[in-house]
A and B are shown apart, each in its own frame.
Chain A
Amino acid sequence: MAERISFSATINGQKIGPMDLPQDLMMVELLQEYLNLTGTRLSCGQGVCSACTIIIDDPDKGSYTVPACVTGVTWVNGRTVRTIEGIAGRDDQGNPVPSPIQMAFLEHFAFQCSYCTPGFVNGATALIERLQRQPIPSDQVEAAVLEALDRHICRCTGYVRYYEAVRDVILSTPGLTTDGPGTDVTAMQEAGQ
């Protein structure tokens, strides 16, 4: 078995590699130690707490999340990835602008120590993107938020504010629910959907 691999990927829109990496390297270590992307948080190291959640953009399936602590570089090799550093948008001057989820977390005072926040942001972002592909009735939103974020562990603020923030974004964003705002195409374009 090869001990090392040649690794290439697109991370936050930037081409990375080819890099010569240990074949058993986990993504969190690549991000933190090789690429200086320290926003992805290592916590349990066993794929349980979801603090290290990152997003994989699959051209066929759309976006989905993986825990960076137990996902090896051999799975990510050749794929497109977003980490917390790639979630905010930019304004005309190139200054960072929080994404709707990031803004909602700020407005709802959703986090305290923030260690779990990058994982929550990525998990919620992937949920929003899934609903863009497959909208659901608004009476199913709470259950969908619970199902998507249930695996994210937070040890200080509790979960209610995270849940309320994500629910509000979903219910107020056109196109995410089948019976909420979103039938108006112009409004969707204005919202940048």
Chain B
Amino acid sequence: MITALRILGVLVLLGIIASGLLFWTSSRDVQIPPASVDFASLSPSEHDRLVERGEWVAHAADCAACHTDPSGGSDLAGGLPMVTPMGAIYGTNITPSRTYGIGEWDADDLYRAVAMGIAPGGRNLYPAMPYPSYHRITREDSDALYLWLMQQPPVDKPNRRNDLIFPFNLRPAVTFWNALFRPDPEPFVARDPQNAQGEYLVDVLGHCGECHTPRNLAYALTDDHLAGNVIEGAYAPDLRADALVRRGWNRDDLSQFLHRGLSPQGVMTFRMFPVLSHSTSHLSFDDLDAISAYLMPQQPETELLARPPAGALSAEGHALYTGLCAGCHGEDGRGQPHSSVRLDVNTTAMFDNPINLVRVIAEGIPERDLAHGERMQAMPAFGDMLSDTEMAELVTYLRKRWGGQSAEVSAAQVADALKQAH
């Protein structure tokens, strides 16, 4: 008995020492790259050039995606909830308000927050702030972003407390997460010098992997970079080149999709719609083509054609399609310009996971001003009209007819998808 207690005591002691070491390793002051410019002696033209670059960084890094004020008025005043399995995290005020925003920060503070997830005073940010992606931001871009942020109108709006469950509400505990999963700040050096811009936009500023890369049990990104992931109740699809080719993408359509929010393969939906409005629609075609070329190193030569059905189509599914969908999307699934998307080459029916297809049909999509004059009318919600069995019939039909997916979707899968969504 005493021996067992002694062993237990030693184990507890070792655990405490290990935790302490982990905490110390992670919280020690990491050397950061020095400021890229002397802010005090900037010429007006240099200042203006940096502010312009900073605006580009803010768009490319999509700061507004999380920091926008959902009640309107400011893209940076915070308050938007991000729903995670651990609870809701609210975007913070990053306007230069001295009371509630980052008005007291200097450029080093911003770099530490963006690249390392550490706010002034050593306070941990939660990794909802995508510092595991931003850790490769260049100091030049962080400094340009700093100058641009400080030029924005300050909004004196207090931050909202996060609604996280225990123990995730213990902010200092993020230090352990950082020790295990946070890469050290490492200013960008292209892994593929052929397309440095595409890599920087996709992997660093655009932080595409934060949604499109699967996460482990600790909610950290895995090594399956851009392999697709269900996040916030929707499937962020596999963006690896072979998967994109399989779903009928080519570089031109991908660039158009990021520019206007629409292409024959689909329309920006769920959390990609704000990404369009805050970020990708503001990028030049040079940037968008770099993104497309990075994601699809080989331009596929195949023509975009509807694939043959992946199995026998049920009469019930066909009747549901004709009765509820064909009026807008057409009996042949060709859709109508600016009002209803094509379904015959739409990628949503091609995903292994049917959650997005089920949700779009059940919840509908509001009418949208997409970007650069492109718009789509509303899609009605059919959730109240269809039983889970009917929804399963319809979803199976769509996936078989145009999605190349032969597997039957069951009513239980439909119920599960709808449950995951809320």
The reply to whether A72 and B323 contact each other, CB–CB distance below 8 Å, is: yes
The interface stretch among B239-247, B287-295, B325-333 is B325-333
The reply to whether A72 and B324 contact each other, CB–CB distance below 8 Å, is: yes
The reply to whether A2 and B315 contact each other, CB–CB distance below 8 Å, is: yes
The reply to whether B313 and A61 contact each other, CB–CB distance below 8 Å, is: no
The reply to whether A69 and B327 contact each other, CB–CB distance below 8 Å, is: yes
Tell me if A64 counts as interface (CB < 8 A to partner B): yes
The reply to whether B323 and A75 contact each other, CB–CB distance below 8 Å, is: yes
Tell me if B322 counts as interface (CB < 8 A to partner A): yes
Query: With the chains together, A61 CA to B326 CA distance in Å?
Result: 24
- For A24, the chain B residues whose CB sits under 8 A away are 322, 326, 331
Tell me if B225 counts as interface (CB < 8 A to partner A): no
Residue among B313, B322, B336 making CB contact with A46, cutoff 8 Å: B336
Chain A residues touching B, majority SS: loop
Tell me if B256 counts as interface (CB < 8 A to partner A): no
- For A72, the chain B residues whose CB sits under 8 A away are 322-324, 326-327
- What 1/0 flags go to B318-353 for Cβ under 8 Å of A? 111011101110010000100110000000000000
- For A61, the chain B residues whose CB sits under 8 A away are 384
Query: With the chains together, A2 CA to B316 CA distance in Å?
Result: 12
The reply to whether A71 and B323 contact each other, CB–CB distance below 8 Å, is: yes
Residue among B313, B319, B327 making CB contact with A71, cutoff 8 Å: B327
The reply to whether A74 and B377 contact each other, CB–CB distance below 8 Å, is: no
Tell me if A47 counts as interface (CB < 8 A to partner B): yes
Query: With the chains together, A73 CA to B340 CA distance in Å?
Result: 20
Tell me if B385 counts as interface (CB < 8 A to partner A): yes
Tell me if B380 counts as interface (CB < 8 A to partner A): yes
Interface size class of A (residues with CB under 8 A): 20 to 34
Tell me if B42 counts as interface (CB < 8 A to partner A): no
- For B377, the chain A residues whose CB sits under 8 A away are 46, 48
Query: With the chains together, A123 CA to B377 CA distance in Å?
Result: 20
The reply to whether B313 and A1 contact each other, CB–CB distance below 8 Å, is: yes
Tell me if B378 counts as interface (CB < 8 A to partner A): yes
The reply to whether A64 and B340 contact each other, CB–CB distance below 8 Å, is: no
Query: With the chains together, A24 CA to B329 CA distance in Å?
Result: 12
- The interface centre, meaning the residue of A5, A47, A69 with most chain B CB atoms within 10 A of its CB, is A47
The reply to whether A75 and B320 contact each other, CB–CB distance below 8 Å, is: yes
Tell me if A70 counts as interface (CB < 8 A to partner B): yes
Contacting residues of chain A (67-107) with chain B, CB-CB under 8 angstroms: 67, 69-77
Query: With the chains together, A47 CA to B339 CA distance in Å?
Result: 10
The reply to whether B331 and A47 contact each other, CB–CB distance below 8 Å, is: no
- The interface centre, meaning the residue of B327, B380, B384 with most chain A CB atoms within 10 A of its CB, is B327
The reply to whether A64 and B385 contact each other, CB–CB distance below 8 Å, is: yes
- What 1/0 flags go to A1-26 for Cβ under 8 Å of B? 11001000000000000000001101
The reply to whether B340 and A46 contact each other, CB–CB distance below 8 Å, is: yes
- For B340, the chain A residues whose CB sits under 8 A away are 46
When A24-B322, A64-B385, A75-B320 are in contact, do A47 and B327 touch as well, CB less than 8 Å?
A: yes
Question: Which residue of chain B is the closest to A48 with respect to CB atoms?
Answer: B377
Query: With the chains together, A67 CA to B377 CA distance in Å?
Result: 15
- For A67, the chain B residues whose CB sits under 8 A away are 327, 380
Rank and list the top 4 A-B pairs by shortest CB-CB distance, nearest first: A70-B327, A75-B323, A74-B323, A72-B323
24 contacts between A and B (CB under 8 A): A1-B315, A1-B318, A23-B319, A23-B322, A24-B322, A46-B339, A46-B340, A46-B377, A48-B377, A64-B385, A66-B385, A70-B328, A71-B323, A71-B327, A72-B322, A72-B324, A72-B326, A73-B323, A74-B318, A74-B319, A74-B320, A75-B320, A75-B323, A75-B324
Q: Please give 20 more A-B residue pairs, beta carbons under 8 A apart, in addition to A46-B377, A74-B320.
A: A1-B315, A1-B318, A5-B319, A23-B319, A23-B322, A24-B322, A26-B327, A46-B336, A47-B380, A64-B384, A64-B385, A66-B385, A67-B380, A72-B323, A73-B323, A74-B318, A75-B319, A75-B320, A75-B322, A76-B323
